[in-house]
Amino acid sequence: MYDISVTQSIIVASETRVQRLLRWYAQQPVELRIEAHKLAADLFFQYRDKYPEAKNEVRYATFVLAVLKMYDSAHAVSHKDSDHDIDKIRKTTELLADRFLAEKRAKTRRKKLSKKKNQVMDMWAEIQFLRSKGFSWRNVSEFLAKKRRVKIHWTYLQKIGSRLDKQSSAPTEEKK
C-alpha cells in the first residue's frame, strides 16, 4: 500500500488544487510537458534520500510539485503581488513567450498532403500544359477524368492553381 502522507508532505496542496493542476498540465503542449518531467526528475533527486522506502510516492509528489512550480511561474505576473520586480516579470514573460511559440509550432507542424492533392501535384506539369493550350479548369477536370481516370472537381484544380500562382509570383529578395 502507498504512504499518502509522504505525498502530502511534499506537495502541500489540496486535492482539488492537484486535480486542477493536472488538468492544466494535460492541456499544455508536448514541449512544456517534457519540461515538467525534467523538473520533476531534478526534484526527485532532492527528495529520494529523505524518503528511501517510498520512491513511487516521491516520484508522483515531485511530478505534481514540478507542475505546481511551472503553473505558479506561468501565472506569477497575473497575481496581485506587491513584490513584482522587473527581473521576475522579464523571466516570466520570456517563459510565457517560449511556451506560446512552442504551442504555435505544435499547431503548424507540416501536415501530410491529401491523396487528391498528391495526384494533382504529380500531374501539375500536364495540367499547366493543358491550361497553356487554352483548356478551362472544367475541361482540364474532364480530361483528367477521361484520360487519366482521376476524378477531381474543377474548382479544386482552380484553387490549387491560384495558390501555386501566388507562391510563384511572390517577390523574392535577392542576396546582396
Cell of 67: 507542475
pLDDT band at 176 (very low <50, low <70, confident <90, very high): very low
CA-nearest of 67, 68, 75 to 93 is 75
Report the pLDDT value the prediction gives residue 171, as an integer from 0 to 100.
65
Q: Domain locations in the chain? A: 4-107, 115-169
Which pLDDT band holds residue 132 (cuts at 50, 70, 90)?
very high
Q: What is the pLDDT of residue 48?
A: 82
Q: Check whether 175 has a pLDDT greater than 50.
A: no
pLDDT for position 10:
87
Q: Is the pTM higher than 0.85?
A: no
Given a cut of 60, is residue 172 above it in pLDDT? no
Q: Which of 3-12, 59-68, 107-116 has the lowest mean pLDDT?
A: 107-116
Instruction: Write out pLDDT tens, residues 68-124.
Output: 888 877 666 555 555 666 776 677 677 667 667 766 766 665 566 688 888 888 899
Distance CA 100, CA 133 (A): 49
Longest dimension (CA), the chain: 81
Task: Look at 145 and 170; give whichever has higher pLDDT.
Answer: 145
The mean-pLDDT minimum among 52-56, 80-84, 123-127 falls in 80-84
Q: Are 37 and 70 in contact (CB under 8 A)?
A: no
